[in-house]
Amino acid sequence: MKVAWRITGIYAAVGLIWIFLSSMAVWIGVGEPPGVASLLELAKGCAFILVTALLLLVLLGRWEKELNRRGAALVESNRELTDVNTRLSGILRGSQDLIAAWDGNKRLTAFNPRYQAVCWDFFQRDAKIGMSIEDLFGHVPDRYRLFSECWDRTLAGESFVQLQSLAIDGDTAWFETSYGSLPGPDGRPSGGFHIVRDVTDRVRAEEDRRSHAEKLAKAVETLTEANSELERFAYVASHDLQEPLRTVACFAQLIERDYGTVLDERGQQYLDLVTSGAIRMHHLINDLLAYSRTTRSEGRIELVSTEAACHSALNNLHEAIESGGAEIAIAPLPEVAADSVMLIQVFQNLIGNAIKYRKDGIAPRVQITAERQDRQWVFSVSDNGIGFDPSEQDVFELFRRLHPHSGYAGTGVGLTICKRIVNRLGGHIWAESTPGKGSTFRFTLPLADPPQPAAAPL
């Protein structure tokens, strides 16, 4: 308000002095002392000056307040602009990306230190404000054409991203460049900018991953082919071995029938060894055929009752159950998405092993249960048999046996078949056992998807 008071005071003083001097001049010119009328006129003039001075003070006060408000806003705006400019300058200086701006004549208007350093490293040019792209890149024709085309597109209002490479000393660096336009006062592009990011490490990592994936795919293809060949070989070889085995077994029986009475004890022992070896070989070939069929067959996946599959396995094991006096307890079992034949084979092998590896003089007791865990069923086949130490060896390995042939029959293929079937059905299998305290074999199968509702008729 100081300015308003000063201007108002000057106006009032000048006005009053002017009116007083004018009245004095009139009185002197008339040659008579001022009358009442003259004094009234003088008072009216002074009142007018004072009233207008008051109005002027009010108007000037408002004007001064508005100027002060706008001045404060301008100071705040300048401070914010200074802060923004300081931050942007810090970002430009500290950024590892290359940042530069160009005007409509393709002349450099701004850049950061990283841009200047890379221009010097790759193009042997010291970037300066006002330098044209021809001055900066003209000595590298291919780069000049590429950058010129990109800035033409930018000046046309286009924004885009390009992956570009630069070579120096036989080494290639890769840069991802983002181009954009800068609008002028009329809203049309008056220049452009580009931000360049060094993506050499990312590109090389992607190339390494792609190369590794290709090598892995080739290795998988080779391994799949070799595995298929091995499965075909096992299947064919098992079939071809059956014929000479039948010949050995047949002639061993003929020798025992025709010459059994003339053989001494050692000869009879040799003949028994040949016969038992042929029988073991026959079982081994049959199990190998079963394993080969398991690996080759895709199976028919459908909704299957595991309880029905378990009872089918018990029917197949009827003689073993009766001869061993086994007690089998089956808890309620769910339905799963599986191949019924394969599922029966899993239960048959696990229950058969529980009956086979029983303690002397103790009837085997086998319990089959199922428990839901998250999105899968966990099945358990527990027994009171002789048990084993799982840490000693992997019982699911092909041809792996824990006991000699003289003690327990078998080829060591059954559990391998179980593992292969469970894996193919999307689960996994493991064993928990303690020597002398029985064993529990557990395997998981995924939860069956709920049936989809039938579409309503139109």
- Burial of 14-49, coded b for 16+ CB within 10 Å and e otherwise, reads ebeeebeeebeeeeeeeeeeeeeeeeebbeebbeeb
User: Which of 198, 214, 230 corresponds to the end of one domain?
Assistant: 198
Give me 134's structure tokens: 């021809």
Contacts of 257 (CB under 8 A, 6+ apart): none
Shared domain check, 129 and 7? no
The vertex-154 CA angle with 148 and 159, nearest 5°, equals: 130
Distance CA 58, CA 182 (A): 47
CATH of the domain at 106: 3.30.450.20
| Phi, psi (rounded to 5 degrees) for 205 | -65, -40
pTM beyond cutoff 0.75: no
In a domain, 403, yes or no: yes
| Phi, psi (rounded to 5 degrees) for 238 | -65, -40
Give just the sign of the alpha carbon dihedral 14, 16, 20, 23.
Answer: positive
- Burial of 249-266, coded b for 16+ CB within 10 Å and e otherwise, reads beebeebbeeeeeeeeee
pLDDT score recorded for residue 456 = 42
CATH of the domain at 427: 3.30.565.10
pLDDT score recorded for residue 455 = 44
User: Which of 36, 64, 90 corresponds to the end of one domain?
Assistant: 90
Shared domain check, 150 and 63? no
Shared domain check, 108 and 30? no
β strands within 36-105, DSSP E: 98-103
Residue whose C-alpha is closest to residue 233's, from 278, 287, 288, 283: 288
> In Å, what is the CA distance from 406 to each residue of 9, 139, 355, 416?
131, 89, 17, 21
In a domain, 248, yes or no: no
pLDDT tens-digit profile, the chain (458 residues): 677 788 888 888 888 888 878 877 777 776 666 677 777 877 888 888 888 888 888 888 888 888 888 888 888 888 888 787 777 777 777 777 888 888 988 899 888 888 888 888 778 888 888 998 888 888 888 888 888 888 888 888 888 888 878 776 667 888 888 899 888 888 888 888 888 888 888 888 888 899 998 998 888 888 878 777 766 766 666 666 767 777 877 888 888 788 777 778 888 888 887 877 777 677 666 666 666 666 555 567 889 999 999 999 999 888 889 988 999 999 999 999 988 888 988 999 899 989 988 888 889 999 999 999 988 999 999 999 988 888 777 788 765 555 554 456 556 678 888 898 899 888 999 999 988 889 999 999 998 765 444 444 43
In a domain, 252, yes or no: no
Distance CA 180, CA 159 (A): 5
pLDDT score recorded for residue 454 = 45
The one-letter amino acid code at 98 reads L
Q: What is the DSSP letter of 148?
A: H
Shared domain check, 420 and 350? yes
pLDDT score recorded for residue 330 = 93
H helix runs in 138-199, sequence order: 141-155
**Which pairing describes strands 327-330 and 429-433: parallel, antiparallel, or unpaired?**
unpaired
- Burial of 301-331, coded b for 16+ CB within 10 Å and e otherwise, reads eeebebbebbebbbeebeebbeeeebebebe
> In Å, what is the CA distance from 176 to each residue of 44, 162, 191?
83, 6, 20
Give me the number of domains the chain comprises.
3
Half-sphere exposure of 175 (CA within 13 A, CB side): 20
Shared domain check, 306 and 416? yes
Distance CA 284, CA 405 (A): 12
Judge whether 363 and 381 are in contact, CB under 8 Å. Answer: no
Judge whether 294 and 420 are in contact, CB under 8 Å. Answer: yes
Judge whether 309 and 344 are in contact, CB under 8 Å. Answer: yes
pLDDT score recorded for residue 59 = 87
Contacts of 202 (CB under 8 A, 6+ apart): 174
User: Which of 90, 119, 136 corresponds to the end of one domain?
Assistant: 90
Domain that holds residue 383: 300-446
pLDDT score recorded for residue 269 = 81
pLDDT score recorded for residue 442 = 95
